[in-house]
Amino acid sequence: MKRMTGKNFDVMMGDFLIHVQEASLDIDDQSTVAKTKGIPDGQLDGEVGASGSITVNTQNFKKIVEVAKSAGAWRAIEPFDMNFTGNSGSEELSVLAHDCQLRIASLIDIDSSGGEAHTHTLDYDVTGPDFVHIDGVPYLRPDEIRDLT
Mean predicted confidence (pLDDT) in 109-128: 89
Domain that holds residue 121: 9-144
CATH number for the domain spanning 46: value is 2.30.110
Strand 137-138 and strand 9-13: the pairing is unpaired
Structural domain includes residue 3: no
pLDDT of residue 90 exceeding 80: yes
Structural domain includes residue 2: no
Structural domain includes residue 34: yes
Buried b (16+ CB within 10 A) or exposed e, 42-61: eeeeeebebbbbbbbeeebb
Residues above pLDDT 90, as percent of the chain: 81
Give the pLDDT band (50/70/90) at residue 149: low
Structural domain includes residue 1: no
For 20-71, how does the pLDDT look when each residue is reduced to its tens digit (9 = 90+)?
999 999 999 999 999 999 999 999 999 999 999 999 999 999 999 999 999 9
- Number of domains within the chain: 1
Residues above pLDDT 70, as percent of the chain: 99
Structural domain includes residue 4: no
